[in-house]
Structure 1
């Protein structure tokens, strides 16, 4: 079976992990975690990079460090992974969903403006499937209304907006290194920021609220959200190969778009201000029936697929909580699909997938 995503692991990752294990540094203490943080900060172009146990914990810590809590609202795109809403609830705030644009699948700045209230404290643009959001418009709204900006760049390592890496544009950027992401540590995350105070608060809360100057003295109710040195070792190796991995992802995306150019299939629009990293190749079909026929044909051909994220407003924990309608996110979910997108895909693999798609549509 062709998997929808797979990590690209080489002997370099194995060598670094073996080194960490051989030295006995397998917990969060160790040089690889510090090196991973330092190199990732340079990769993104931020002053600080702070490793976490997951992308979800990165989002959660960011809201905690910003002081978001009860009585606050955080605007979240309706089409994204549910952790974006869950972390808002964890801090006692309320997620407010905003629709996305039909061409890019990304948070619609006009919908953000419509969702603003006097309680809005933050906005969380998600660079979905590796495509950068329209950050100029979102940052302008944030500046006008004093909003904290949490960039969810979990799926967008290496993507850029007007030449600047995503994760360096908002107050904080949050990345995931889950096994199916562009860069992986198996599980893990990273927070990037230029704000010294926010970075210091993240360090405090990340390790159970323990004081950095007084051992086993805990200043706040914190969390155990650290990355292990073994994971850091994998991250260092992956980061050293980042350009090679990104080049492979872009090659796969270009081949999909070229091979399906004369079909009714439509991909996320590539704006002139965006340099995507193509975490997922996400075609949109003319109807849900067409999409379902393609899914069935690919399954018969031993090709794994995955649906779009189910719109957040209609998931049971959030259903009926808002009076707004989200026609775009619902339509995209009904007609969208994620195709195999791993960096190890060869041209023949992409051709095989496209032949099945074309046959199902015909």
Structure 2
């Protein structure tokens, strides 16, 4: 926690507004807009709910195709299924490990059925080639949703991730750079879309004293209590980004003598380095390294298993160059908490070196 969260929670309790309405929801939304430059924001229960609302507002429905990054967490794409639409997965490029704009354009030039939208993930806090991707989507009339769940605080040419597309989403899950324990934010420069998403997020209640419904909705609004935590967290966002980047630099220094490749950062971009991730250039037993780290109390993970490799999506169409498969096979996510010090990083790196040599 950043320091003021308990104070703001106490103020919420004093106001007696514990439900998904209240002063701190407004303050949290305003702080996200002020920080990112987004024109409108809606605080919701999680990032996946934000994506779901975006798809619903954009009219995505049964039998529509929705393009998505294959190298991502399933929360980025599960909302496509909620709308009975069909995911089509696009592979990564090596310059940022994010969605490949060349493959995207090739697909849009040749596909028989135009997709309704694209959900592009800014992976591990690093921006995709989002300006080029946005131009392609506009050229082909495809709505663009940015999954910036992992990349709050990251920028591309000075503009925040999540603010290039028709919609952007952020996550405040327990493992993110900022947390409200659980929560998300939907942003857009289109005020009417955010208003409609807010309508759907509160069970689509018509403005009558009695409950009247012309459409169905969801119980997706964030509580005032969690929003109070979010307001406190936003006060330390730049400190968090700075510390995450410092941890990354420590790893680079400690592992400079072994044959690894760290996740690259595009020219003109400034990632939040949510997680420090790397590839082993030589054949290394990733599972063994992870197990040995775990035995010493150091949690690590493989990189995301691409969606096109998931049994759930075995029948779905994918546009592949196999980059994401290589990243999955050779990559690892390292401990990256903002309370780590140089000795913590050295400890992890010593275990990695030992594991490689054994």
- What interval of TM-score do these two structures reach, taking the shorter chain for normalisation? over 0.9
The 8 Å contact of residues 78 and 326 in structure 1, kept in 2 or not, is answered as no
More deviation, 74-83/279-288? 279-288
- Give the deviation of 1:212 after TM superposition: 4.7
The 8 Å contact of residues 71 and 119 in structure 1, kept in 2 or not, is answered as no
> C-alpha offsets along residues 232-267 of structure 1, whole Å, 9 cap, x if unaligned?
000000001111122111111111122212211111
Is 1:109 aligned to residue 101 of structure 2? yes
CA distance in 1, matches of 2:120, 2:319: 19
Is 1:94 aligned to residue 98 of structure 2? no
Residue 354 of structure 1 corresponds to 349
- Give the deviation of 1:300 after TM superposition: 2.7
TM-score by length of 1: 0.94
The 8 Å contact of residues 155 and 161 in structure 2, kept in 1 or not, is answered as yes
The 8 Å contact of residues 314 and 320 in structure 1, kept in 2 or not, is answered as no
Residue 339 of structure 1 corresponds to 334
Residue 115 of structure 2 corresponds to 120
Report SS of the residue matched to 2:289. Answer: helix
Residue 277 of structure 2 corresponds to 282
More deviation, 40-49/289-298? 289-298
Residue 310 of structure 1 corresponds to 305
For structure 2, list consecutive stretches of 5 or more residues without a partner in the other structure: none
Which of 60, 72, 80 is matched with 1:80 structurally?
72
Residue 45 of structure 1 corresponds to 37
Residue 140 of structure 1 corresponds to 135
The 8 Å contact of residues 307 and 337 in structure 1, kept in 2 or not, is answered as yes
1:201-240 counterparts in 2 under 5 A?
A: 201-212=196-207, 216-240=211-235
The 8 Å contact of residues 311 and 333 in structure 1, kept in 2 or not, is answered as yes
Query: How many residues get paired?
Result: 354
CA distance in 1, matches of 2:229, 2:250: 29
1:156-235 counterparts in 2 under 5 A?
A: 156-212=151-207, 216-235=211-230
More deviation, 208-217/42-51? 208-217
> C-alpha offsets along residues 324-359 of structure 1, whole Å, 9 cap, x if unaligned?
545111111111111001111111111111111122
- Give the deviation of 1:171 after TM superposition: 0.7
The 8 Å contact of residues 306 and 325 in structure 2, kept in 1 or not, is answered as yes
CA distance in 1, matches of 2:341, 2:128: 29
> C-alpha offsets along residues 101-125 of structure 1, whole Å, 9 cap, x if unaligned?
1342100001212333333111111
TM-score by length of 2: 0.95
Report SS of the residue matched to 1:282. Answer: strand
Residue 28 of structure 1 corresponds to 20
> C-alpha offsets along residues 199-219 of structure 1, whole Å, 9 cap, x if unaligned?
121111111111357663323
The 8 Å contact of residues 280 and 339 in structure 1, kept in 2 or not, is answered as yes
CA distance in 1, matches of 2:171, 2:91: 23
The 8 Å contact of residues 20 and 224 in structure 2, kept in 1 or not, is answered as yes
CA distance in 2, matches of 1:152, 1:323: 19
The 8 Å contact of residues 75 and 95 in structure 1, kept in 2 or not, is answered as yes
CA RMSD of aligned residues (A): 1.6
> C-alpha offsets along residues 80-114 of structure 1, whole Å, 9 cap, x if unaligned?
01122211111121110010013421000012123
The 8 Å contact of residues 52 and 190 in structure 1, kept in 2 or not, is answered as yes
Residue 57 of structure 2 corresponds to 65
CA distance in 1, matches of 2:90, 2:328: 15
Report SS of the residue matched to 1:283. Answer: strand
CA distance in 2, matches of 1:85, 1:344: 31
For structure 1, list consecutive stretches of 5 or more residues without a partner in the other structure: 1-8
- Give the deviation of 1:10 after TM superposition: 4.2
More deviation, 255-264/291-300? 291-300
The 8 Å contact of residues 284 and 356 in structure 2, kept in 1 or not, is answered as no
Residue 6 of structure 2 corresponds to 14
CA distance in 2, matches of 1:322, 1:245: 38
